[in-house]
Chain A
Amino acid sequence: MSLLFRSRQQGAQQVNISGFRRFVMFWVHNLQQAVASLGELARYPMASLMTMAVLGLSLTLPATLYVVVKNTEAIGADWQHASEITLFLRKDLSQQEVSTFHKRLSLSNDIESVRWIDKNEALQEFRESSGFGEALDALTNNPLPDVLLVLPVANKRGTVQAQQLAQQLRNEREVEQVRLDLDWLQRLEALLNLVRDGLLALAALLCIAVVLIVGNTIRLNINSKRDEIMVMKLVGATDGYIQRPFLYTGVWYGFVGGLIAWLATAVMILWISGAVADISELYESQFALIGLTFNEMLVLWLLAIGLGLLGSYIAVRKHVRTIEPQ
């Protein structure tokens, strides 16, 4: 639109550009500028790749840590089965009373299953496996109590709920002693929380670093094109028009940096999974490390692109405006 010569559009100019045409051309130009800035990056492949690698590798560390935390959480969830409550019953109960109590507990809504370890069987087993057989023979009566192993229903297995249930069971007449081995589970959870918080802080710091690195690279980029920017301003380019190629450069940094982050994370996980396999073998368990899911990869990629864009946005906002033709 002509600002100083309002009649120019209608009168002197033969080609009148319609609003729709302008809109279409705006997007066509965006596409052209996006491709052009990719071409610009390809002209200095080493320098571009280095910035992209910094971006990608910076994101690899939090991504790998995230995978580790995610897997540890999965194991933790598996081990929740261990929140089994052990009930030591009073020794003066008859077989009949224990059986009734066992049935009563089995019917409770909070309890999934109850396993009864009969005191006589337990004694027999102990005699065979411990090697104290003769010593036990000297005893006149069975020193072991009947034991019930209570497994809460799935949603009562959390530390707090399991503790509540244990408290309830402690009040039962038949129960002598209740044991709920939750300490290690709580410790694991606390540890996971610590790692998760640390991960978040680390990720935030690395994201800031990425933004600064991209911003600085774009700033150098802008300075090296000082003359070109001046000429563009002289012939009437808006700041937005001048900024766009630089913003696209930032987006490309993120685009490729994200791919590098995927690759590096995959390699890291591959590496770690060897060690994990060794550990799980020692524990005689089947455990495979779960890598990044498709959605998580998408988030990582978008994050990389977003950071690239943010870094370049900060740089162009600050520097394009200050370059004025002289």
Chain B
Amino acid sequence: MIKFEQVSKTYPGGFQALNNVSFHLEPGEMAFLTGHSGAGKSTLLKLISMMERPTAGRVMINGHDLKRIHSRQIPYARRDIGMIFQDHRLLMDKTVFDNVALPLLIEGYSMQEARKRVHAALEKVGLGDKVRHYPMMLSGGEQQRVGIARAVVNKPPLLLADEPTGNLDPKLSMEIIRLFEDFNRVGVSVLIATHDLGLIARLRYRTLTLRDGRMINDGLQES
């Protein structure tokens, strides 16, 4: 599903965020990506979502070399990747419905089809009764779940989450992770970046570990 081949990323100014990183995430796999702040977790996710381009090496999704994807095609490619952020990135002046419907309307769905799917996605994350609310009226955990509903509403085969539990207490964090497990169970590949080691320890998923831009453990080695 996601394959990195000797990928390096150096930002303008000389800071090397990733150094010769290689790993392979199988289709339908769920994995954690961990490491201290500044280890390169966000950069790695940005390379997958094409917010950044690698300085060297190859990033592949489903066998497609991302280098071959023209900048004009990036929006279309991003529709196949559900992205979840620590700060949710919701539009605060739009209702929950409008937020979740955004990817569908961009893709050209009619209102009726979009409505069906938005309701289904919100039911899934347990916010079926908050459709008409504004994000401001929701708690942090609920806002995060709106973000998840938006990420999965067009049923992408790949989910990326950047610190999805960063601002949540352990109980809420676990609820969010259970949601990801549900999606994973129906075949969605999930990659979660987090530094919540306690959370990782409680779950037995493959864990990729970064330190100073190098992958010190890709979760497959015996340890």
Contact = CB atoms under 8 A, between A and B. Distances in A.
26 contacts: A2-B79, A4-B61, A5-B80, A5-B157, A8-B157, A12-B157, A15-B113, A17-B107, A17-B109, A21-B108, A28-B110, A230-B89, A231-B90, A231-B102, A232-B106, A233-B78, A234-B89, A235-B83, A235-B150, A236-B103, A236-B107, A238-B72, A238-B106, A241-B106, A325-B51, A326-B51
Contact of B76 (A1, A12, A13, A231): A1
Return the 6 tightest CB-CB contacts between A and B, nearest first: A236-B79, A236-B78, A235-B103, A238-B75, A237-B106, A3-B77
Best-surrounded residue of A231, A232, A235 (most CB of chain B within 10 A) = A235
A226 B51 CA distance: 16
Interface in A143-164: none
B81 to A, nearest CB: 8
B106 A12 contact: no
Interface in B107-143: 107-110, 113, 117
A9 to B, nearest CB: 11
A3 B80 contact: yes
Interface size class for chain A?
Answer: 20 to 34
Interface of B: 49, 51, 61-62, 64, 69, 72-73, 75-81, 83, 89-91, 102-103, 105-110, 113, 117, 150, 155, 157
Contacts of A238: 72, 75-76, 106
A26 interface: yes
B76 A26 contact: no
B105 A29 contact: yes
A22 interface: yes
Nearest to B151: A235
A263 interface: no
A21 B103 CA distance: 17
A3 B76 contact: yes
Contact of A5 (B62, B102, B105, B106): B62
A29 B78 contact: no
A228 interface: yes
A13 B83 CA distance: 19
B108 A25 contact: yes
Contacts of A228: 91
Interface string A203-241: 000000000000000000000000110111111111101
A239 to B, nearest CB: 8
Nearest to A235: B103
A281 interface: no
Contact of B155 (A4, A13, A227, A239): A13
A275 to B, nearest CB: 52
Given A235-B150, A236-B103, 17 more contacts: A3-B69, A4-B62, A4-B64, A5-B157, A8-B80, A15-B109, A15-B113, A21-B108, A22-B108, A228-B91, A232-B106, A233-B78, A235-B78, A235-B79, A236-B106, A241-B75, A325-B51
A121 interface: no
A296 interface: no
A324 B150 CA distance: 19
Contacts of A237: 75, 106
A22 B117 CA distance: 17
Contacts of B108: 17, 21-22, 25-26, 29
A236 B72 CA distance: 11
A2 B69 CA distance: 13
